[in-house]
Chain A
Amino acid sequence: MRFVKSLFSFSSALIIFCGGIAQAVTEVQWWHAMGGVNGERVDKISSDFNASQSQYKVVPVYKGNYTETMTAAIAAYRAKSQPHIVQVFEVGTATMMAAKGAVYPVEQVMKDSGEKFDKSDFLPAVISYYQTPEGELLSMPFNSSTPVLWYNADALKKAGVGVPITWAEMKSASEKLLASGMDCGFSFGWQSWVMVENYSAWHDLEIGTQENGFAGLDTKFSINNKNVKRILGQISDWSKKGIFKYGGRRGDSLSMFTNGECAMWMNSSAYYGSIKKQAKFNYAQSMLPLDTEASSSRQNSIIGGATLWVLKGHKSDDYKGVAKFMNYLSSPAVQAWWHQETGYVPITKSAYELSKSQGFYQSNPGTDTAIKQLNLNQPTPNSRGLRFGNFVQVRDIINEEMEAIWNGSKSSSNAMDAAAKRGDALLRKFERANK
C-alpha cells in the first residue's frame, strides 16, 4: 500500500515537473476567424512554424466569424486577458487604429525585436490600406482578397455568350442565359463591399469625403451619389425578370452559383477553394464589369479580408515570438502556398513571383485576376481603400437598405440616402468617442 502511495506521489511529481518544462516554451495566442477548410490551413501554418523552432509555440484559436473574433478580442482586452495576435477584418481597421494604447504597430514589433522586415516587398495595394498617414504599417496583411466576376463557363457556352465586360453586357448576357434555360443571370454576395465600396473604387468614385476617411475623422458618406443609385435601381428592375437574384448576406449566395442556378456571381476571389470543391461545371473568374455610364475606364478594385493585429500588454519576450511568426507567415513559400490554396492574393511581390515561376497561373488560368485588378492603376484617393469608424455597423445599415431595395419596399434613391444619413450619424458618434 505504501508502495502504491509513493508511486502515486512520484508520478504526480513527474507530471508537475514535465508540465514545468512545457511551460518553458513561450506561447503566443492567435485568435482568428477562419472556419472550415481555411481553419485547417491556419492550424497547418501554426504547427509548421512550431516545428521549425523550439522557443515559441503559436496557439491558434478559432473565435467565430470576423465580427465575433474582433469583439471577443476587445472584450478580452478590457478584461486584461487579450491574445497576442488577433485577426481583424478590413472594416474594423479604423476602430483598431483609433485604439492607440492597445495596439502594438506591427512595424514597431519587428523593429523592437530586431527581426528583418522588408516593407518594400509588400504589394502597395494591400499595405496602403493598413498604413498610417506617415507610412507606418500597423497590422500584418494575412488574407486579402478582392471581388471578381465568377462565371459558369459551360452555361455561357450553352447560351452562346462571351464573358461580360460591361454592365450592359451583364444584362444582355443574362437575358440570353435565361433564354437558354438558366434560372437566374447573376447574383452577388458581401453586397456593400462588392456593389457599393468596390463599385465606387472601380469607377474612381468617392465613397466618403476626406479621401474615404483616410484624411480625418470628420468624414461623410457619399454612397448616395447618382451612379450608385442608378446601378442599384437598374439591378432592382432586372430582378423582376430574374436577371439578378438576391441570395442573402456575406457568402450565402454561393450555393446559388455552385448548384447551377445563377450563371454568374460577383464575390471575393477567396471563394476559389469552395467553388473548386463544390462546382460540378467549368468555372472561371474575370474582372468586374465596367459601368460605362459611370466612367469610361476601370480604375482598380480594393481589398477585403483581414490582417493580424498585435495587442499590447504581454511580456516583451513574447513579442519576439510574435515577430518571428510574422516573418514566417509572410515568407514567400508560406504566402504562395496560402494564395494557391485559398484564392487570397499573395501579399508580397516575391510570393507572387514564386507562384508565377511555379506555373500556377498557367495551369489555373484566371487565378491572377484579383491581383491584376488590384494593380490595374496607381490607386487614387477614391480607390486606395476606406477608413470609416463604426464601419461594422455601417455595413449592416447598407445591407439593410439594400435589402429594402431588393424586396421593393424602397427605391434605390431613398434607400441610399437613408444609408448615408444613418451612416453619417455613426461617423459623428465615432468622431466624438475618439477625439
Chain B
Amino acid sequence: MLKSIHFNSQALAYLLVAPQVIITLVFFIWPAGQALYQSFLIEDAFGLGSEFVWFENFIYLFEDDYYGESFGRTALFSFLVAVISMSFALFLAGFAERVVRGGLFYKTLLIWPYAVAPVLAGALWVIMFDPSLGIITYFLKYFGIDWNYKLNGNQAMTLVVMAAAWKQVAYNFLFFLAGIHAIPKSMIEAAAIDGSGPVRRFWTIIFPLISPVTFFLLVINTVYAFFDTFGIIHVMTQGGPAKATEILVYKVYNDGFIGLDLGGSAAQSVILMFIVISLTVIQFRYIEKKVEYK
C-alpha cells in the first residue's frame, strides 16, 4: 500500500501562499483597482469634490487628437529603440564571442552602461548635445548641421531614441551573449568543417537558435521603451518641443502631476495597463509556441 503524506487541513497550504497573495493584492491589485476607480471620476486637484462619470474620461481621450498622436509616437519610439538597441547588441555579442584575448575586459565594458540610472543616462546625452554648450553640437556645426533639439522635434526624437537605445544595449548584449554561449560548439564546428564562413554560420545556425532570446528581448525592450524611458525623457526634453517626444507614459505624468487632471491621467494609465497585459498574453500564449527551441 502506498502511503501518501498529506496534510489534514488545507490551512497550512493557504498560509504558505499567503505572503505572495498579500504582496500581489497590496502592491498590484489594490493600486490597479484604485486607478480603475479614479478613471471613472472627474475630480478637482485637492480631492475635495468628485463626480462619477463612467467612461467620460475615456471618451474624451479617444476624441483628443493629441492622445492619438501620442499613441503613434510611442509606437514609433518603441520600435526604433527596440530595433536599434537589439541590433547593436546582437552585432556586439556576435563579435565579443569571437574575441580570444581580453574577452572579459570587453564584455565588462559593454555591460557597464546597464548600471547607469536612466536619469543619469539622459543627463550625459544632454551635456553632449546641448544646443549651446554641447561638444557634439560643436562638431555638428562643421558639417553644416544646425543642431537645436530644443526647437526641432525630429532632432529631439532622434536624441531620446539614441539615449534610450544606448542604455538598453548592455542588457540585450548580456542576453544575446548567454544565448550564443548556450549553442553547442559542435554544431558550429561541424558547419565550419563543411566550409561555411563566419557570416553564414551566424545567419544559418546562431541566429535561428537564439530566436527564443530574441523574442524575449523584443517583449522586454518594448516594455522598457513604453515605461522605463520616463527618466530619460524627463531629463532631456520633458516631452517637448511641442509634444514631439511626449510618449504615453510621459503624458500620464504630464496630465496627472503637472496638469492635476487625475481622472484623465488615470484613464490613460488604465489603457497602458491593458497594453502591458496584452503584451504579456501575446508573449506567453501566442508567439512563444511558434519560437523554435532547441
In the assembled complex, which residues on chain A have CB atoms less than 8 Å from the CB atom of B132?
Answer: 255-256
Q: Within the assembled complex, what's the spacing in Å between the Cα atoms of A393 and B51? A: 22
Please name the residue on chain B nearest to A253 by beta carbon.
B132
Q: Which of A95, A249, A255, A403 contacts B260 (CB 8 A)?
A: A95
Interface size of A in residues (CB-CB distance below 8 Å): 35
Q: Within the assembled complex, what's the spacing in Å between the Cα atoms of A95 and B240? A: 24
In the assembled complex, which residues on chain A have CB atoms less than 8 Å from the CB atom of B49?
Answer: 433-435
Please determine whether B48 and A433 come into contact, CB atoms closer than 8 angstroms: no
Please determine whether A71 and B257 come into contact, CB atoms closer than 8 angstroms: yes
In the assembled complex, which residues on chain B have CB atoms less than 8 Å from the CB atom of A77?
Answer: 46-47
Asked if A392 is an interface residue, CB under 8 A from chain B, the answer is yes
Please determine whether B44 and A98 come into contact, CB atoms closer than 8 angstroms: yes
Please determine whether A433 and B241 come into contact, CB atoms closer than 8 angstroms: no
Asked if A129 is an interface residue, CB under 8 A from chain B, the answer is no
Please determine whether B241 and A99 come into contact, CB atoms closer than 8 angstroms: no
Please determine whether B243 and A400 come into contact, CB atoms closer than 8 angstroms: yes
Asked if A145 is an interface residue, CB under 8 A from chain B, the answer is no
Q: Is the interface of B mostly helix, strand, loop or mixed?
A: loop
Asked if B45 is an interface residue, CB under 8 A from chain A, the answer is yes
Q: Which of B42, B241, B255, B258 contacts A67 (CB 8 A)?
A: B258
Please determine whether A403 and B242 come into contact, CB atoms closer than 8 angstroms: yes
Q: Is the interface of A mostly helix, strand, loop or mixed?
A: helix
Contact (A246, B260) CB under 8 Å given A102-B46, A404-B242: no
Interface centre among B44, B132, B151, B258 (most CB of A within 10 A): B44
Please determine whether B42 and A432 come into contact, CB atoms closer than 8 angstroms: yes
Q: Within the assembled complex, what's the spacing in Å between the Cα atoms of A101 and B264? A: 23
Asked if B43 is an interface residue, CB under 8 A from chain A, the answer is yes
Q: Within the assembled complex, what's the spacing in Å between the Cα atoms of A403 and B47? A: 34
Asked if A331 is an interface residue, CB under 8 A from chain B, the answer is no
Interface centre among B43, B46, B257 (most CB of A within 10 A): B46
Find residues 394-435 in chain A having any chain B CB closer than 8 Å to their own CB.
Answer: 396, 399-401, 403-404, 406-407, 409, 426, 429, 432-435
Size range of the chain B interface in the assembly: 20 to 34
Q: Which of A390, A400, A435 contacts B241 (CB 8 A)?
A: A400
Please determine whether A403 and B241 come into contact, CB atoms closer than 8 angstroms: yes
Asked if A329 is an interface residue, CB under 8 A from chain B, the answer is no
Q: Within the assembled complex, what's the spacing in Å between the Cα atoms of A429 and B153? A: 28
- Nearest-CB distance from A163 to chain B (Å)? 26
In the assembled complex, which residues on chain A have CB atoms less than 8 Å from the CB atom of B153?
Answer: 407, 409
Please name the residue on chain B nearest to A408 by beta carbon.
B151
Please name the residue on chain B nearest to A252 by beta carbon.
B150
Please determine whether A396 and B261 come into contact, CB atoms closer than 8 angstroms: no
Q: Which of A101, A249, A256, A393 contacts B46 (CB 8 A)?
A: A101
Asked if A248 is an interface residue, CB under 8 A from chain B, the answer is yes
Find residues 93-107 in chain A having any chain B CB closer than 8 Å to their own CB.
Answer: 95, 98-102
Please name the residue on chain B nearest to A402 by beta carbon.
B242
Please name the residue on chain A nearest to B41 by beta carbon.
A433
Please determine whether A401 and B242 come into contact, CB atoms closer than 8 angstroms: yes
Asked if A74 is an interface residue, CB under 8 A from chain B, the answer is yes
Q: Within the assembled complex, what's the spacing in Å between the Cα atoms of A390 and B264? A: 13
Please determine whether B258 and A99 come into contact, CB atoms closer than 8 angstroms: no
Please determine whether A433 and B46 come into contact, CB atoms closer than 8 angstroms: no
Please determine whether B44 and A400 come into contact, CB atoms closer than 8 angstroms: no
Find residues 148-169 in chain B having any chain A CB closer than 8 Å to their own CB.
Answer: 150-153
Taking A102-B46, A403-B240 as known contacts, 18 extra A-B pairs with beta carbons closer than 8 A to each other, sorted by chain A number, are A67-B258, A71-B258, A74-B45, A98-B44, A101-B48, A246-B151, A252-B150, A390-B260, A400-B241, A403-B151, A403-B242, A407-B152, A429-B42, A429-B261, A432-B42, A432-B51, A433-B44, A433-B51
- Residues in chain B within 8 A of chain A (CB atoms): 42-49, 51, 132, 150-153, 240-243, 254-255, 257-261, 264
5 smallest CB-CB distances across A and B, nearest first, come from A393-B259, A400-B242, A99-B46, A102-B46, A101-B48
Instruction: Jot down 11 A-B pairs with beta carbons below 8 A, ordered by A.
Output: A100-B48, A390-B260, A393-B261, A401-B242, A407-B151, A407-B152, A407-B153, A407-B241, A433-B42, A433-B51, A434-B44
